[in-house]
Amino acid sequence: IVLFFKFEDDPFRIEITKIQFPNEQKKIEQELSKNKKAVVYGIYFDFNSDKIKPESKQVLDEIAAALKDNPDWKLTVDGHTDNIGGDAYNLDLSKRRSASVKQALITQYHIAPERLSSTGSGVAGAIDTNDTIIGRSHNRRVELTRQ
């Protein structure tokens, strides 16, 4: 699925995001088991928002299933952003987004709050260039780490 975004504040700015759904069942659980870390794509937010979009449900389901299958696991949810906007703003946005993921797991999936923590890294820890649309889409992600 490819999404096109137009922005009211700049009618000539268009952002294109490719949505890829996980191909393998339990991919997140496998990564957390093997590496104690999983890079997660597929949790979506509107621009400048910390509200999780409905199309994120499949990935949230997978995270919750991994936690339910492994009741001794505790996870840190770390939000990352691209470089659109200032560093301080992106750090705050990444913290709010990771807190939203944590809260969704608690309220919608009944994961015990003491099993989750959240933090945000903003632009720090970019895994791709921020000079291209594709690179920025790679940098907008959530990372899960087993504690």
> pLDDT (tens digit, 9 = 90+) per residue, 50-61?
999 999 999 999
pTM for the model stands at: 0.82
Q: Please report whether residue 8 resides in a domain.
A: no
| Domain extent for 107 | 22-146
Q: Which residue has the higher pLDDT, 96 or 2?
A: 96
Q: Number of structural domains, the chain?
A: 1
Q: Are 82 and 17 in contact (CB under 8 A)?
A: no
Q: What is residue 25's predicted lDDT score, i.e. its pLDDT?
A: 45
Q: How far is CA 62 from CA 4, 21, 43, 83, 118, in A?
A: 26, 11, 11, 28, 18
Residue 5 in any domain: the answer is no
- Chain centroid to CA 140: how far? 7
User: Looking at residues 82-111, what average pLDDT do you find?
Assistant: 97
Whether 60 and 101 have beta carbons less than 8 Å apart is answered as: yes
Residue 4 lies in a domain: no
Residue 131 lies in a domain: yes
Q: Which range, of 34-38, 43-47, 94-98, 120-124, averages the lowest pLDDT?
A: 43-47
Q: Is residue 3 assigned to a domain?
A: no
Residue 85 domain-assigned?
yes
Query: Is position 1 within any domain?
Result: no
CA angle, 62 then 138 then 44, to 5°? 50
**Predicted confidence (pLDDT) at residue 145 exceeds the cutoff of 90:** yes
Measured CA to CA, the distance from residue 109 to residue 101 in angstroms comes to 11
CATH value at residue 88:
3.30.1330.60
Six-digit token string for 101: 């993921």
Tokens of 141: 């992600």
* Residues 88, 75: Cα–Cα separation, whole Å: 25
Q: Which two tokens stand for residue 146?
A: 């087993």
- φ/ψ of 8, rounded to 5, equals -60, -35
Question: How many other CB atoms sit within 10 Å of the CB of residue 45?
Answer: 19
Q: Once rounded to an integer, what is the mean pLDDT over residues 6-10?
A: 67
pLDDT value of position 47: 84
Q: Classify residue 11: in a domain, yes or no.
A: no
